[in-house]
Structure formats: C-alpha cells, structure tokens
Structure 1
C-alpha cells in the first residue's frame, strides 16, 4: 500500500508531510531536520542531493544547482532568465528547449535540464520518505506556485514521473495551505455563511495572496495575485550588496570578483536577516572571505528596512490585485492568515498590517502549512484511507480559449475557461464537422500572463469523424476539461445522430387512472466515440521512459558509490581497531606467529588502502576486510569466550554468595525460633 504524501518544494528548502497515525506528520530527513535543502550537486563519481549537497556547496559551488523551482519550464530567451542566471552559481544553458545546468560530473562536462534536476531532487525526497515511513511511496500531491503556467505544471508532472512518482494532484501552494486551514480549523468555521480569509505567503522567492471563502467542509478560492520576484532571497541580496560595497572601501576587496566569496557573503546575509527578526542589531563577519581577508561589520533593523524599502513599497500590489479579482474590499476580509519564512521580518509584518488595516494571524505553521495541506489532499485521493470530507475549488489565473478548424461554423474559437473561473470544471461544446479536425488550447489575454509566457497550451487531433451519406456535416460533442491539477484537456469527443425517441408528456391535469401519454421527439444521441491524439508540452512517453531509465541508472550508481565508500571506511576502521587491540585486549589470546602474521597483513592492507586501493571497488574492499577478519575474528572469538567465562564465574560467585546468605538467614531464623520456644517452656 502506497503512503500518500505531500511536498512543498521550496526554492531554498522543502518540507515533506505524510498522512499517517490518524493525522498529518512532517517527515524528517537523514539528519533529522524537518526541512531539506533544495539543492542538487555533482561530484567526480556521484551526485549529492539535499543535505549532502548543502555540506559541499561552498567547495563545489560551480557544480551545485539551486533555484531549480525557478528555472523549471523556463527557456533561455524568457525575460526571467537573466534574473535567474544572476542567482545561479552554475552556468545555465539551453537544452531540448529548456534551461539546463552545465556541470562537471564523472570527469566530463554534462548538461541536465531543469526537469531532470527536479526529478533528481524528487527521487531523493521519495527515498527519505520511504525510509521514514517504512512503506511504499508512489502517490504525491505536489505544491507549485500559483503563477506556474501549463508548461511549468507539465514539467513538474513529468519530473514526478521520472522519479517514479504518480502526481495525483498538482496544487497551488497557497491553496494547499488554505485546505489545511479549512480541515484542521473546521471547528472554528461557520456552517452557513463562509468566512472571507486572505492567505498571504511570502517565501524564499515568491509572494502570493489568495482570497478564499471558507466554511466547514468547503473552500473556494475567489481570487489570487502574486509578485514572483519578491521573497527572502531578495532581502538577502540587498544585505549582501550593502556589505559588498562597504568592503570595497573598508577592506579593498570586491567579493563580486570571486563567486565563492560572494556565496559566503550571501549565506552570512541570510543568517543576519534571521537574527534581526528577533534583535534590533546584529553582527556580520566572514573569516578569510577572499585573499585571506577577514571581514566584519554590523547592521541594525532600521538600516535593513532602508535597504529593502523598494521591496516594501511593492507589498500592497498583490493584495490589491487579489481583492480586485475576488470582487472584495479590505473591509470584507475577516482574517489575514500569514505563512512563509520571510514573513518573520518585522518591517514586512508591520507594512502588511498597514496594508490590510487589521491585525495579522499566525495560527498556521509558517513553514509547514503548505506541505501539511498537500498531504491531506493526497490522502483524499487514496483508495485505502478515510479522511474528513472536504470540497475545494481553485480559480484560474489566466483566460484560456479553444480554437478549431473552421469547417461549418462561422467562428473558429471560444473562450472556455475565463480567468477567475473555478476549477476543476467541465464545459461541453457542439461543433458541426465535415471530417477529422484539430483543436488547440491557448492563453488568450496576454495582459494577464507573466511576461514572456508561451501562449500555446495543447493541441489535439480528433480522428474518426464520419459524415452520413447525403449529409454535409455531423454534430460532434467535445467535453473540455480544466482538471483538478489545472491541466487543460479534451476529456471526450464523440459524434451525434438524430433519433426519434418516445418522451413522456407532462400533464398536470391527468388523473391517477389515466394512461401516460407519450410523444415522438427528435433528439441528438451519442453515435460513436472519436480518437483523440494529444500533442502537449510534456516531454512525451518515449522521452519520459528514457529519462526514467537514466535517473534509475544514476540512482543505482549513487548507491554503489555510497556502498563502496561505506566498505572502504569499514576496512580502514577495522585496520586501526585490530592494530590497537592486538597488543592490548587481544594480546594473550594470540600466539606470536598469529601476531606476526596479522601485523604483516594489517601493514599490507593499510599500504594498499592508501595507494592503489584508494579508488578501488566495493568487492575488493570486502575481500580485504574478510582476509583480515579470517584471523582477527578467531582471536576476537577467544577474547569474547574468555570474557564470557569471567562473566559466568562472576555470576556463579554471586549466586553462591546469595545462596550462602540465604542459608545463613534460614539458620538464624531457626535459631531465633528455637530460642523463643525454650523461653516459653521455662515460663511454663
């Protein structure tokens, strides 16, 4: 049975949550952290993902990829590309129509697309979760930014499949948090008139506002807005730029000239930002940042607010846009729920309070709310789990129209899913067709879209249309679907034919004994299903299978490298342990010949390990270990047998002492009883 889980894949750190133990649990990673760095790095032999990538980031900066969430579904000619390249520490190039990272891996230059990188990280998350829950992991509800287009959602779905996961739902991040609120705060919600709640999420790179109507068991997203270039990393960058300028004057160094130096300044800036969330001033120092120069300074909370003032001045824009989309005013809002790590910045909280004119609420966990909500959504799709019933609908951020060949109709398109419309949603259209035709879905209002968005969504070839003899066209129905994950599809297509059917006549004056009256009417009924061939923005089944195989190969290779390193470390540890004990604990349990032979083998094994065996195979490390253990374990066995004899002798001694003590007590009790009996006789 698959354990359903939800993932908040953040730009800086990710949170995993699972539905189990009659609730939602946040999963800890291999070092017991509740969040995992969103990093993928490449070494000489293997990959480093998550915590291991973070540990080697500074020393392997050019081969450590971050901001994967931001480059997913991006192209190098997209207007956002220069911004993302500014934050990247690895060269970003074009590959297969996507942005890819160019890294040195396994001794050669290689390029991995953002979808592949995303899949690598998801595969690691899958392994962490499986180990923690001790179960099968396949179903995932993945939380993505509300501004993700069809292309980015498709790429996220593809990444899940490459990692061997089934994306049962691609859900907007703030919607996931709102679902969690609606489910776990159900007792505080009304049953009739819904509360109007503004959910504000400011994370590492994105700022989102969603206005929701929430009542017990039901949620509707009324409107959403965002600023996708507003988040914690922008604050970090502002702090780092301030100190970079200061150090040019103070220490005569320019950290922009050294990528590692600037990376360390950015990391220190992030720590300082967190300290200033609780303190009015904070020190700033980095040892040997570059050219063996140690730097130090300090920053006050007021100075930080001054440096980020351009960001704070934009804070009201998404709020006003979301309220407008929802058709509400600030006065209509009952509660403002705030999540996201960046919202801990005091100046940001103060400005948000001013924008809404009301106190903020922090009843949700700022870091884990999205993951918890996503886990519940995944559990809703599980056939084996029973969860509290909860209905929720999201809203379209962009208008989508469907286009078709102009055959009989005067028009060749229709606006089917307008922005602000709720989904999941299904619309049925009827077309008169003279033969096979094509349908294409596009975004049709460029002013709503993020700059540079590809308007193409999907194309379908509808085949099998047959026109009856003597007729010019045939009526065809298309069932158009905006599915729960936000994908636009054609769910069903079929032709219709006109048939005469008997229909009951509704006669309100008829008596009980009257015979029912029928009339013949002409109706269009389903005639034949049509074949739908999809051409979407997904990578395609064949390419997907190839990428899945490649990821599986890399995972196997990583495991082999890790196992080989473990065997190497075990051999090294055994050499030093045995050498230390042979002259001490094991000394009297080995003959002179055995000591001499074992010492020689230990010397040869050590020389081999640090020479030709330094880069050897797992099998050879195991063979060397077993060669030493064949003698070492015999001697160790004698030592353990002697120790067991000592323990047995000690236990026997203790038992004898206890038995002797018991006999003495019995004898004393008898003597005491006899003495008492004699006293009674004398008294008589």
Structure 2
C-alpha cells in the first residue's frame, strides 16, 4: 500500500512518499523533483506536467496554469480576473464554475476547474505509481489555509474523479509544522512551556504565516494569517512590467501585444530573480524576442528591490495579524522557520528578520517541506505504517453559522447560531438541539462574508431533516443534529436522531468512611444491603432522523460521468504515446538495419537479398516521412513486420553463426577447464602420495631404535 504526500502548488507540484523508514521526494519522468502544475491540450492528446511545460509557448491558448486557484471559483470573482493575467488559455463560465475553453482533438471543449485539477492529479498518480511500482490510491494533499468549503470540496471531487482517495486536505503551514515537529526529539513535555514557532510560507502566489505551539507528541496551531496575492509571481510581474517599458523605449517593441514574447520575458524574469538572489547584478539576453529583434539589458539587485518595494512594504502585515490573533508578542516567538521558494529573496528575508528581531531558521527544505509533511500525515492515517504518535490541532479560519426558519409553535425562537468560531480547534463536532413537530431545514454559511477570498459565495449547504412529527400528546420532538467540521476543513451535518425525556433509576454512589470499611478477612454474616437508587430525568435516544444534504460537492452521477471521461482521455493519451513509441521504434529499426546490412549482416545475405531489403527500407522511410507521419499504431507495426520479413532470415543466419561460435568457444573453454581440473587432480594425488611416503619413512626410523637397547649411563665409581 502506498503512502503519498502531495504539495499541490500554483507553479510546481512536489510528490513525497513514505518508505525506507523515512520520507523521500520522488522524481518525475525527466528526473525533476518538482513537476509543473500545467495541463495542455493538443490535436491528438493532452500534455500533463513536463510535456505541457515543453509545449507551452507554442500552444499558449490551450495550456492552463494556476489550476489550484481556479478550483471552486466563479468567472465573475475578482480573484479569477487576477488569475487571467497569469493563465494563457481563455477562462469561461461552465455551469456556474470557472473553466477553460481549449481546442482538444480538433474540437472546442470546455473543462471546469475541478476537471482540470483531476487531469493533473491523474498525472501525479501515474508519476507516483511509476516510481513506487505499486498502484497509488491514498494521498494527503496540501491547500492554502484560506481555502473555503467550496474550494476544498472541489479538490475532493477532483481527487475522486482521478481515482484517488484523499485521506486529508492539509493546510500548507500545518503540513510544514508536522514535518518539523515529528522529527524533533527535544520538544517540551506537557508540564513545560510550549515551544512557539512561526512558520512563514511564501510561494509562487501565497504568503502565509502560522504561529504553532509544540509539545511532546503534538502541535497546536494558534493562529494563521495570509496575503493571497503576494508571492514569486508578483515579483516576476514587477520585473516584466519594467522590462516591457524598457524594451518599448529602447527597441520600439511592445511585448504586451505578443503573448509568446510576453511568456518568454516572464521566463527570463523568473530566472533573473533567482540569479539576483545570489548575485548583485545579472544580464538579460533574449534572442529574436519579437519582430526578429534581439534584446539585452542589465539589472542590479538594488534595482529589483526598488521595483518590488510596494510588495516589501506589505511583508509585515500577515506577521502582525498572526501575532494579534494568537495574542502574542514578537518576543514570545522562539523560532522563525521559513519555507517556500520566494523566501530566498534577500530583501524579503531582511524585512522578516527586522520584524522579529531574531535570526531566521532554514532547517526545513524550502521547496519540499510541505510535501514531506503531507507524506508524514498520510503515514499517520495509514494502517500500514507505524509512526510516532503526533496529534495535530488545526484551527477554523472563518466563523460558520447555521440559520433556520422559525417554528410557528415557538414564536420567540432564535433563527441563527454561530456554531464554529474563528480560531476553534479543527476537526470538531457540535450537537444542535431543535424542538419541532414537523420536518424542517437549516442552512450553513460563513458568518462574515467580508473575510472570504474574492467574492466567494458564503453559502455552504442546506440540510433537510426528515421524519420529524409530533408525539401522541401533540408535543415537540426533541431533534439532535451532529454538525462536524472534519479534518479536511469541510462542514457536514453527519447524523440526526431524536430523543425522549424519560425517568430512569440510577444508583447513588456511597462514600464509606475509613472506619466503616470491612475487614477483607471478616466473614459476611449479614445479607448485603440493596444499593440505594434515585430517579432522574434523562434524554434517551429513540431513533434516527434521515438528513438530505445539498452542498457544492458534485453529485455521484456527475462524478461518475467525469471519471468515465477522464478514463477515456487517459486511454487516448496512452494510445497516442504507444503510437509515437511504435513510430520511433520503426524509424530506429530502419536506420539500424541500413547500417547492419553492409556491416554485420553483409556476409550472411546474397546480393539479391541486400537489394530487396535496401529497397524496402527506402520505401518505408519515404512513407514514414510523408503520409506515414500521422498513421496508426497498427500500421506502424505492419510496416515493421514487412521489413522483418526480409531481414529476419539474414539476421537469423547471423545469430546462428554467432551461436555456433559461442558454442565452439564454450566447448574450448570447457575442454581447457577439464584439462585444468585433471592437472589439478593429478597434482593433488601426487602431493598425497608424497605425504604418505614421508609418513612411512618417519615410522621406519622410529622402529630401528628399541627401548631395551638403550643403556643406562654408568655410575661413577
């Protein structure tokens, strides 16, 4: 059974697996430890991950990025309009969700954000399976802490469509905190003061700060604050805008009118930013950017810091918010741990260090810490792995309230209640009590819509409670509903039941004094007194109440349809890959056979056979580069068989000769080995004979001297 953690990023995705008594980050098909979070569409198949990145510039309108930030959103959301600046494919409305319109298999197709994420997760699944040589099913995946219920449900649906079981959706900084804490052996005990660590994650598009308290065997998130539009891509955009203005003035070209040129400048800006993180200055050179114009310029680190100063001025905001929410001061924080690629920017590190007044810590791998934490979480949740017990107490980021219609029989009844407050521990379960005589409904929504990202609908779900009726005395039914905010951060009303007030007898506990205690060795002479009881009113569960839930999750039929469509596309991709493999195999075979017929196979073929084979090779090669360039797998196989029909007998003669020579060489080697064995045996026998002769000689010498012949020395007279 596989245990996989996935850091699903805006730019790249990192996959980690638990194995070999630890956690490893696995590489993809081109040996990279991070896979581009991209989905592309072509005339024959899709491009997922690395292939999508390879063809991005030549296929901009059909390549979709920022997959995570599109899931569960609507087209009119201001945040989605921001994403359109970074997504080259046109974003459209698909049944109320944002999606992308692309050309796939020669036809215009629209795919929702959920479907696009499921396509990429299929790639994650195949990459992990190829590395582990096992089928992959269970994963834990990271999400930004600010994701809402509808966004989280969208990712859950996407995983299910891709054939994955999502054991947990884990907040990014919580995953990093788990990876940090589970390996530490020096955490304070329950009686000691907890260790407080600020985890700061600045990635491609998000800036998050979480204050986490550690004790032996557990972590507790005290607060989380974030800036949803602060990350590496915003630094890149500042550079691109500067370079666009410079190129327009210096070279009279406007890259904003040319999407391909704009993408190339974005790539150059990202590379420049990374170089300037380690150097004081760096050049920018792009050949034939547009209109056959080569561009070149120089940028200093100081110049970059001036460009991004508006961003750097916002660096303290999430830090202050996190401390305020946790009711802590800067001096209360013991360690400041940084993760995320953008934390390599020197100016940003400097601002964060000045804010805390402490040296920053980089003990975690900045690019892989979150994926490793997810893999640890997956191992904890998996029954297969034995992991050190480590409790995770995350928090609710948005307050959630329930509303309902007022009962006509209870005129002064409240119609709303905030059930989960911001900062409450998650996962969490609350029991709601209602007095009703007939079925009723209640709705869950976010209590403070102004806190939500963009214009996300605060509505979470509607829950209809069935089977409610008045009792025989026309009195209320006492209805109990179990509302649960689960470990994914998703809300559900999981269970409904009704209770009745009943009188039950319960024993009254007796406290005996020491002098009244019986001697254990004394004999019982009196009958034991009957224990005293009392009657108390208790609510006794009498039956279940069916609940019909209406949420933003896809219904089973829609998920089944999407899963079937995904399977069909996977098969299409596989067929195209297999066809391309057979085409390359045929091309390689042609070149290989052409070389061998005049070299290795020359003496094994007649001139007539050589002529026919060369003619066939030339004919197939011409066909391959003409109408055969876009043929089917079966035709490539048949063309290969045609060549093999002519080349087979020649190759067989060659292999027969090789086998004959091999057998002859083997016979010679065996004869030499037998001869060596005979010589060795003869030498051994000679040595044994010599040893026996020497022993006989020693015995003969011993027999010539008899004991009675030995004279005693004469006594001195």
Instruction: Tell me the TM-score normalized by structure 2.
Output: 0.90
* CA RMSD, 1 decimal: 2.4
Instruction: Give SS of 2:78's match.
Output: coil
Matched, 1:618 2:633: yes
Partner of 1:50: 49
Q: Does the 8 A contact of 2:205 with 2:230 survive in 1?
A: yes
Partner of 1:359: 359
CA shift for structure 1 position 378:
1.2
CA shift for structure 1 position 665:
11
Alignment map for 1:274-673 (pairs within 5 Å): 274-407=274-407, 408=410, 410-508=413-511, 514-650=529-665
Partner of 1:197: 197
Q: Does the 8 A contact of 2:236 with 2:266 survive in 1?
A: yes
Q: Distance in 1 between matches of 2:654 and 2:490?
A: 68
Matched, 1:166 2:152: no
Q: Does the 8 A contact of 2:79 with 2:453 survive in 1?
A: no
Which whole-Å deviations, capped at 9, do the CAs of 1:160-193 have from their partners, x for residues lacking one?
A: 0010011111111110111111101233555542
CA shift for structure 1 position 20:
1.5
Q: Does the 8 A contact of 1:281 with 1:301 survive in 2?
A: yes
| Deviates most, 173-182 or 640-649 | 640-649
CA shift for structure 1 position 322:
0.7
CA shift for structure 1 position 60:
1.2
Q: Distance in 1 between matches of 2:341 and 2:655?
A: 55
Partner of 1:226: 226
Which whole-Å deviations, capped at 9, do the CAs of 1:510-533 have from their partners, x for residues lacking one?
A: 866643111222221111101111
Which whole-Å deviations, capped at 9, do the CAs of 1:593-623 have from their partners, x for residues lacking one?
A: 3223322322332233233322221111111
Which whole-Å deviations, capped at 9, do the CAs of 1:274-310 have from their partners, x for residues lacking one?
A: 1111111111111111011111111111111100000
Alignment map for 1:78-93 (pairs within 5 Å): 78-93=77-92
Q: Distance in 2 between matches of 1:425 and 1:659?
A: 80
Cα–Cα, structure 1 residues 519 and 191, in superposed 2: closer, same or farther, change >3 Å? closer
Q: Distance in 1 between matches of 2:575 and 2:86?
A: 33
Partner of 1:30: 29
Q: Distance in 2 between matches of 1:467 and 1:634?
A: 91
Partner of 1:677: none
Instruction: Give SS of 2:442's match.
Output: strand
Q: Distance in 1 between matches of 2:622 and 2:225?
A: 65
Q: Distance in 2 between matches of 1:566 and 1:194?
A: 58
Q: Does the 8 A contact of 1:285 with 1:295 survive in 2?
A: yes
| Deviates most, 303-312 or 627-636 | 627-636
Q: Does the 8 A contact of 1:46 with 1:106 survive in 2?
A: yes
Instruction: Give SS of 2:182's match.
Output: helix
Instruction: Give SS of 1:187's match.
Output: coil
Cα–Cα, structure 1 residues 450 and 389, in superposed 2: closer, same or farther, change >3 Å? same
CA shift for structure 1 position 471:
2.3
Q: Does the 8 A contact of 2:187 with 2:215 survive in 1?
A: no
Instruction: Tell me the TM-score normalized by structure 1.
Output: 0.94
Runs (4+) of structure 1 exceeding 4 A deviation are 188-191, 509-514, 647-671
| Deviates most, 116-125 or 133-142 | 133-142
Q: Distance in 1 between matches of 2:135 and 2:150?
A: 29
Q: Distance in 2 between matches of 1:357 and 1:410?
A: 53
Q: Distance in 2 between matches of 1:275 and 1:265?
A: 15
Q: Does the 8 A contact of 1:248 with 1:254 survive in 2?
A: yes
Instruction: Give SS of 2:462's match.
Output: strand
CA shift for structure 1 position 668:
12
Instruction: Give SS of 1:6's match.
Output: strand
Give the total of aligned pairs: 674
CA shift for structure 1 position 509:
5.5
Partner of 2:107: 108
Extract unaligned runs of 5+ from structure 2: 518-527, 687-717
Partner of 1:676: none
Which whole-Å deviations, capped at 9, do the CAs of 1:490-518 have from their partners, x for residues lacking one?
A: 12110111222111123436866643111
CA shift for structure 1 position 425:
0.7
Q: Distance in 2 between matches of 1:352 and 1:613?
A: 60
Q: Distance in 2 between matches of 1:175 and 1:297?
A: 42
Q: Distance in 1 between matches of 2:454 and 2:262?
A: 29
Cα–Cα, structure 1 residues 233 and 514, in superposed 2: closer, same or farther, change >3 Å? same
Instruction: Give SS of 1:87's match.
Output: coil
Q: Distance in 2 between matches of 1:81 and 1:448?
A: 17
Q: Distance in 1 between matches of 2:175 and 2:677?
A: 70
Q: Does the 8 A contact of 1:186 with 1:217 survive in 2?
A: no
CA shift for structure 1 position 642:
2.1
Instruction: Give SS of 1:640's match.
Output: helix
Extract unaligned runs of 5+ from structure 1: 672-684
Which whole-Å deviations, capped at 9, do the CAs of 1:521-573 have from their partners, x for residues lacking one?
A: 22211111011111011121111110010001000000001001101111111
Cα–Cα, structure 1 residues 499 and 665, in superposed 2: closer, same or farther, change >3 Å? closer
Q: Distance in 2 between matches of 1:412 and 1:664?
A: 105
Instruction: Give SS of 1:525's match.
Output: strand
CA shift for structure 1 position 591:
2.0
Q: Does the 8 A contact of 2:73 with 2:456 survive in 1?
A: no
Cα–Cα, structure 1 residues 403 and 572, in superposed 2: closer, same or farther, change >3 Å? same
CA shift for structure 1 position 656:
6.8
Q: Does the 8 A contact of 1:209 with 1:319 survive in 2?
A: yes
Q: Distance in 2 between matches of 1:189 and 1:347?
A: 34
Partner of 2:38: 39
| Deviates most, 657-666 or 488-497 | 657-666
Instruction: Give SS of 1:242's match.
Output: helix
CA shift for structure 1 position 634:
2.3
CA shift for structure 1 position 651:
5.5
Alignment map for 1:176-215 (pairs within 5 Å): 176-192=175-191, 193-215=193-215
Matched, 1:175 2:174: yes
Q: Does the 8 A contact of 1:210 with 1:221 survive in 2?
A: yes
Partner of 1:4: 3
Q: Distance in 1 between matches of 2:511 and 2:459?
A: 53
| Deviates most, 614-623 or 273-282 | 614-623
| Deviates most, 95-104 or 497-506 | 497-506
Cα–Cα, structure 1 residues 441 and 260, in superposed 2: closer, same or farther, change >3 Å? same
| Deviates most, 507-516 or 189-198 | 507-516
CA shift for structure 1 position 326:
0.9
Q: Does the 8 A contact of 2:427 with 2:485 survive in 1?
A: yes
Q: Distance in 2 between matches of 1:400 and 1:597?
A: 80
Q: Distance in 2 between matches of 1:329 and 1:44?
A: 58
Q: Distance in 1 between matches of 2:623 and 2:299?
A: 54
Q: Does the 8 A contact of 2:431 with 2:481 survive in 1?
A: yes
CA shift for structure 1 position 195:
0.5
Q: Distance in 2 between matches of 1:530 and 1:662?
A: 89
Q: Distance in 1 between matches of 2:678 and 2:633?
A: 62
